[in-house]
Chain A
């Protein structure tokens, strides 16, 4: 049985740990708030962007754009978004497990059905965001063609643009025929859900068949739709808009994953602090019991000694 001094030392250690986890929880909470503010600040842009695409799409027919190009699939790109650091519960392992399974499944699919469309290309290209993802896939010998650090509250937007350019470039130059993204959806601070989504080619914007084509079309339809002047013409505008649209989407996914990681970290640290509290309680109990046992033993010794003297 451990001595009283050992137990007291252990209580001190656990107390220190709980102070650290408590502090880390506060830091994660503050960072999460900053990331959420960043999401808020980006909202007007993202919303208007979506609005513009919505306004333009009905005015365009037979629209072709490299980002909408549907090809027979021989090679694919997979973007995996994880974190640079751990200490965020199961955040990294959840997304990486999902991504790993996804990569393996897609590789099998491409290898079995897309052989004739491969044309000597690499069947799967992986782009990682976050050091944990990079380490995970390189260690297992997967082809990571590019890696980026994970997004924080301070990361300059240029970095997002660089990643977006790289990903769309890979698609538009024909290195891959489809791009998927594995990211973590932020449900609440307590709940985060890993997902994989098809990212490129973009789902074709709905071209409404019933509305006549042309800038003047909307006016005659007249249900709240405005008769916009387009400069340049709608198809040209839309093709300029799409790359930005894609970029905004990547930005959102990166921010959402960052928020998820911080949420997971907060939860993990809350749990760690609570566990440390439980342990302190148990150890204190044990310390008291040990102390009491010591006193009892001493008393028995004294009583035993007195009895012996009497006899």
Chain B
């Protein structure tokens, strides 16, 4: 697939694909510790896996993956694309039930661009400042903050 999206459209041997032209739908739920931001039937979802982006369709083999900060693209049952920014998390799918556990998640319309820009600046400043082994933890946090901010900005800008 293009853009380095790895092909993980693995078909589970447990299921038989219905002989229809449509790929079919499966249920997707996106939740954060605070709320559920999506729950419904979708045709496909593309996710920012930490080992590379991947897409999931109906009858995907059971999978647990970790996610990086980035863009989630949902193709819903009407064939419409929706974009969300997530701040890293986890993904689980089995029996056509998919669940995204996101650290944070926002719809494109919800993203506060000014705040994300500010966060990006702050993270860059922090990364430029402290170095050395004792700052390892802070550096990791600043890096993930930077990734989150960039993911938000990318989604808000429509990539």
Residues of A within 8 A of B (CB): 38, 41-42, 44-46, 48-49, 51-52, 55-56, 157, 160, 165, 169, 172-173, 226-232, 236-237, 240-241, 244, 247-248, 251
- Please state if B32 and A231 are interface contacts (CB–CB under 8 Å): no
A169 CB contact (under 8 Å) in B31, B36, B99, B137: B137
Segment at the interface with A among B19-27, B61-69, B151-159: B61-69
Any A CB within 8 A of the CB of B73: no
B79-116 contacts to A (CB < 8 Å)? 89-90, 92, 94, 99, 101, 103-104
Known: A52-B90, A172-B137, A241-B90. A46 touches B33 (CB 8 A): yes
B37–chain A nearest beta-carbon distance, Å = 10
Any A CB within 8 A of the CB of B50: yes
Known: A41-B34, A157-B34, A231-B51. A49 touches B101 (CB 8 A): yes
Contacts of B64 in A (CB 8 A): 52, 55-56, 228-231, 237
Q: How many B residues touch A, CB cutoff 8 Å? A: 29
Q: How far is the CA of A247 from the CA of B102 in the complex (A)?
A: 13
- Please state if B94 and A231 are interface contacts (CB–CB under 8 Å): no
Residues of B within 8 A of A (CB): 8, 10, 29, 31-36, 49-51, 54, 61-66, 89-90, 92, 94, 99, 101, 103-104, 137, 141
B62 CB contact (under 8 Å) in A44, A48, A160, A228: A228
Given A173-B137, A226-B62, 16 more A-B residue pairs with CB atoms under 8 Å apart are A41-B34, A41-B35, A42-B33, A44-B29, A51-B92, A157-B32, A157-B33, A157-B104, A172-B137, A229-B10, A231-B54, A236-B66, A237-B65, A240-B50, A240-B66, A244-B90
- Please state if B63 and A232 are interface contacts (CB–CB under 8 Å): no
Chain B residue at minimum C-beta to C-beta distance from A236 = B66
- Please state if B101 and A227 are interface contacts (CB–CB under 8 Å): no
Q: How far is the CA of A49 from the CA of B32 in the complex (A)?
A: 11
B66–chain A nearest beta-carbon distance, Å = 5
Q: How far is the CA of A232 from the CA of B90 in the complex (A)?
A: 11
Contacts of B92 in A (CB 8 A): 48, 51-52
Chain A residue at minimum C-beta to C-beta distance from B94 = A226
Contacts of B34 in A (CB 8 A): 38, 41-42, 157
